[in-house]
Amino acid sequence: MKNQPLFDEAGKEYQKARVVHWNKVAQKRDNWRGIGGWYHKRLTEYYQFLITPRQRVLEIGCGMGSLLARLIPLKGVGVDFSEEMITRAKQRHPECEYHHLDAHNLSSIEGKFDIIIFSDTINDLWDVQSALEQVKKFCEPHTRLILNFYSHLWQFPLTIAQSLNLAAPMLDQNWLTVEDVNNLLNLAGFETIRTSSEVIWPLPVGGFANKYLARLWPFRELALSNFLIARPSPQPINAPSVSVVIAARNEEGNIKSIFERVPQMGSKTEIIFVEGHSRDKTYETIETEMLLHPETPSLLFRQPGIGKADAIRLGFEKASGDILMILDADLTVPPEDLPRFYEAIASGKGEFINGVRLVYPMEKEAMRTLNFFGNKFFSMAFSWLLGQPIKDTLCGTKVMWRKDYEKISANRSYFGDFDPFGDFDLIFGAAKLNLKIIDLPIRYRERTYGTTNISRWKHGVLLLRMVVFAARQIKFI
C-alpha cells in the first residue's frame, strides 16, 4: 500500500485486518445486496440536501464511490484503503478521481476542498484524531466537514443483521458518541456547527419513520446514524470593509441621527440607503444629509418594489463591502452596537450574526406584548427547524459576509420568494449553507420617530406559513 503510515505493531495489525476485510466485502458486493442498500440510499438523500452540486468534494473512506458521484461534484476525490473498493469505484464512476490511500496519511493528495466527508468511516479508524488532522490542510475557512457514524444503540441490531447476511459484516467498531466526536474535532482544530440524527428504520417501508419520526423526540434518540457538521477553527480577518444597508420608509426624523451615529468600522464603512416610497420627506432628507456629510461614503436608491426584503436585496446588490450589515432606520437597535457585530464576524466567532432583542429588558414601548410572545414562539420553532439556536428571528440587525450572501441569493429558489421582511430568507439560506450562526444580544429601544410598518396579524399568519414551509424544506426531507 502506498504512503503506509507509521503505526505501532498493534496499529499495523489492526489496519491489515481491516484492509483484508473490506477487500472481501467489495468482492462480496459484486453479487450481493442486503439492507445496507436502503440505508445508504437514505444517507445519500440527506447528503444531497446538505451539499449543493458543483462543489469540490473529498470523501475519506469512499468505498465504491457511489455517494461521491451522486453529489455531482465540480471536483470529486475519493480515498479508500481497500484496493478492491478503489478498483470498483474507478470502473463504476470514472467521472471522479480515486486514490488507494490510508486515511492516516494523505500526503500525496493536493488542493483545497469545499466539502470533506467521512461517511461511516470514523467507526473503523485506528486513530480518529490523526485522520481528522490529516484533512486540515485541505480546508479553507468556508470548508465544511460532514461526518456520519453509527449510534451505539444499534450495536446489537447490526450484529444480528450481519449474522443473517442482511448487512455487510464489520469488525470491532469505534462506537463513538456525539460528545466523543465533538471532542476529537476540537482537538484536531475543528468546531462543530450542528448535529442531527438519521435513519430509524433501514428498510424500504421506513420512509415515514426516517423522514418524520427521526426528527422528533423521543424517536430521534433511536436513530442509527449520527450526523455532525463542522468547520475549521476560525481565524480572524484583518480590517475587512463594511456596507451598512438601511431600508428607509417614512423615517425622515431619523436620518440625521443615522449619519451622526453610524461608526466607522474596518478599512472602510459605507452607508447605503434604499428609500421605500415614503409619505414624508425621507428621500429628500437623505439627499440633504449626504451633502452635509461628504466624509461618509454613502449611496441612495429608490426602491423599485415593495417590502423590506426587496429594499435590502437592492442595497446588498449595490454594496461593495466585504461585510454586509442591516440596520433598521427606526434606530431601535442603536448604531453604536454595530462594532460588536463587526467584531463577532471579523474575528471568526460566527459567519452569520443575528441580533437578539429578547435577552435584556426592553424599554417600555419598544415592543408590543403580542409581538413579544410571537417572537418567542417563532424563535423556538426556528431553532428546532434549523438545528442552531435562533432566539430572535425578526430582529432587523443581521450581519454576514458578502460572498455568503451571494451564495444565498443564488440558491434562493430552493425556499421561494414570499418573505416580505427578508429575515427568514437570510436565516434559511445561512442554515442551508451550514454557516455558523451566532446570536448577539442587544438593548432594544423605543422608537423616537414614526410608527412600525409591521401588521401583527397579517404578517403573523405569513410567518406561520413560513414555519410550515421551512419544515418541509429543511427538517422533514
pLDDT score recorded for residue 217:
85
Please state, in angstroms and as integers, the Cα–Cα distance from residue 67 to each residue in 40, 139, 188, following that order: 8, 20, 25
- List of the chain residues with pLDDT < 50: 1-4
Is residue 182 within 8 A of residue 176, CB to CB? The reply is: no
Q: Where are the domains of the chain?
A: 9-232, 242-475
- pTM for the model: 0.88
C-alpha 358: how far from its chain's center? Answer: 23
Return the half-sphere exposure (C-beta side, CA atoms, 13 A cut-off) of residue 41.
15
10 Å Cβ neighbour count for 97? 18
The residue behind cell 427606526 is 330
Is residue 327 within 8 A of residue 248, CB to CB? The reply is: no
Residue 97 DSSP SS3: strand
10 Å Cβ neighbour count for 362? 16
Residue 338 DSSP SS3: helix
- Which H or E run includes 431? helix 423-432
10 Å Cβ neighbour count for 72? 15
As its CATH architecture, domain 9-232 has 3-Layer(aba) Sandwich (3.40)
The amino acid at residue 195 is T
Per CATH, the number for 242-475 is 3.90.550.10
